[in-house]
Amino acid sequence: MQLKDDCLHFRGDKPCKYKRLCSGCPYYQPFPKRILIIKGRAQGDVLRTTPLLPAIKRTYPDSHLTWIVDEESVPLLTHNPYLDLLVFFSLENVLYLQQQTFDLLLSLDKEPLSTALAQSIKAKEKKGFGLNQWGNLTIFNPESEYAFQLGVDDELKFHQNKKTYQQIIHEMTGFNYQRDPYLFYLQEEDTLRAKKYFQSKKIDKSRPLIGLNTGAGEKFLTKQWPAEYFIQLSQMLYQELKANIFLLGGPRETKLNQQIEKKSNIPIFNTGNDNSLREFAGFISFLDVVVCADTLALHLALALKRKVVALFGPTCPQEIDMYDLGVKLFAGVPCSPCYKPTCAELSCMKSIKPIQVLEAIKSLL
């Protein structure tokens, strides 16, 4: 029996989806150009890498795309029609990928695990970041030099660079940049919890629906906007706009959101801190404006085409494309951006005042 194990539908461990043997099968389809994307770290970065997918498909319409990502970021790429295979970092999946040969590898992480995998993958062509013999970051192609330099030259990254992240990864990989939007496919079941919440609270949707994402993630605590500022902003929003105010956050923000809710002395809707990532996105999808730091909430809001007021302190605002959906507030104090994970002063975030955020929200409504 002659089998065609190069067929796109071939399994080997079980019959293919057409339940046929290979001889004379009209569904035989040899694998097209096989492309592997390695981008796993930082959920916001994973989401803002998705605009690269349409560019790839414009160049290679029939290509077979595999993406390996951190397990926590799998929900961001679920239901994405551009991907043929989505896997997360595990020993089993790494070994599985290492035994294959790809036509093109796109390595977009600078982390050791990702670059070590990129170095070990068999691919006819590699672009992006790899690992040299001393265990240090290197690049596979000349077009990745600028992205590499951004990591070692603070003057270039903090002050000279004007390119967005999306522009940079398109240049690295050689695909034509057309400012494609984020690709995030929210399903109806992802919004059920938010729908039930809105119904149970009898929320008046004729009033502005403003979400306050109070957290800053674990990596950069320096992104945290002061709790007292959220309280002041909430009071302003209620008094001046009669807005419905929604507190957003994960488990780390449980006490913070309870504190804001209690001390604001106005009606505030706490959406809870136990939502799944996609349920969290479901709440965002119902809002008019989201206020947040440079965090995952920013990228989810942009992916869902919600208006955003983004607060920047220790990170670079120029790398973020708002897609004409929002306002970036950056104080630009002498010490920022710094990309420091902690800071005793937090002068950059403290310099963005609640009245500035209020005015930015008004400009978007």
Closest CA to 125 of 46, 36, 42: 36
Query: In the prediction, which pLDDT does 139 show?
Result: 98
Peptide bond before residue 142 is cis, with ω within 30 degrees of 0: no
Contact 49, 81 (CB under 8 A): no
Paired residues of 34 in beta bridges: 64
Tell me, what's the pLDDT at 343? Answer: 84
Nearest CA to 11 among 23, 22, 1?
A: 22
Angle at 334 between CA 333 and CA 337, to 5 degrees: 75
d(CA 321, CA 325): 9
Whole-angstrom CA distances from 344 to 12, 255, 340 are: 59, 21, 11
Handedness of CA 36, 318, 358, 230 (dihedral sign): positive
Full pLDDT tens readout for the chain, 365 residues: 688 888 878 888 888 888 888 888 888 888 889 999 999 989 999 999 999 999 999 999 999 999 999 999 999 999 999 999 999 999 999 999 999 999 999 999 999 999 999 999 999 999 999 999 999 999 999 999 999 999 999 999 999 999 999 999 999 999 999 999 999 999 999 999 999 999 999 999 899 999 999 998 777 788 999 999 999 999 999 999 999 999 999 999 999 999 999 999 899 999 999 999 999 999 999 999 999 999 999 999 999 999 999 999 999 999 999 999 999 999 778 888 888 888 888 888 999 999 999 999 999 99
* Residues with Cβ within 8 Å of residue 151, at least 6 apart in sequence: 110, 137, 157
Residue pair 50/183 in contact (Cβ under 8 Å)? The answer is yes
Instruction: Please give the Cα distance from 172 to 148 (Å, whole number).
Output: 10
Count Cβ atoms below 10 Å from residue 325 Cβ, excluding itself. Answer: 18
Number of Cβ within 10 Å of residue 252's Cβ equals 13
CA atoms within 13 A on the CB side of 310: 28
Coil vs helix vs strand at 253: helix
